[in-house]
């Protein structure tokens, strides 16, 4: 099975977060893109290291990075809790789908 194209996953996850946040994306895009990249990097790390990671390890990595992204978004006055959670879920949904394809695991935030 070919390795996942994580650059494409990043682009798709960023687009998903941007769509989720709508007009607020313009205000948060600089830091949000970095947070999306960290989610994608987490997915790539899990794909690369899955043989040595337990399900609990994977879930811990995902939940910590998702929480970090949510906290970054909540730093903006224009972003409420529900919007931040929806943006994280949208971005992670893309990453999770890539992982499901590459390693057969479904991980949730």
Structural domain boundaries in the chain: 6-103
Average pLDDT over residues 8-30: 96
What is the structure's pLDDT at 1?
57
3: confidence class by pLDDT, cuts 50, 70, 90 = confident
Nearest-angstrom CA–CA distance, 45 and 54: 13
Cα four-point dihedral sign 81, 83, 86, 84 = negative
Nearest-angstrom CA–CA distance, 86 and 66: 11
Tell me how far CA of residue 93 lies from CA of 26, 51, 78, 109, in angstroms. Answer: 21, 22, 23, 9
State pTM to two decimals: 0.91
């Amino acid at each position: 099975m070919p390795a996942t194209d994580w650059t494409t996953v990043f682009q798709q996850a960023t687009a998903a977060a941007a769509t989720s946040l709508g007009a607020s994306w313009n205000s948060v895009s600089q830091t949000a893109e970095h947070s999306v990249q960290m989610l994608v990097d987490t997915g790539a790390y899990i794909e690369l290291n899955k043989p040595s990671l337990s399900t609990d390890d994977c879930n811990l990595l995902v939940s910590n990075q998702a929480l970090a992204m949510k906290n970054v978004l909540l730093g903006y006055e224009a972003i409420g809790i529900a919007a931040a959670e929806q943006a994280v879920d949208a971005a992670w949904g893309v990453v999770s789908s890539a992982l499901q394809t590459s390693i057969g695991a479904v991980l949730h935030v």
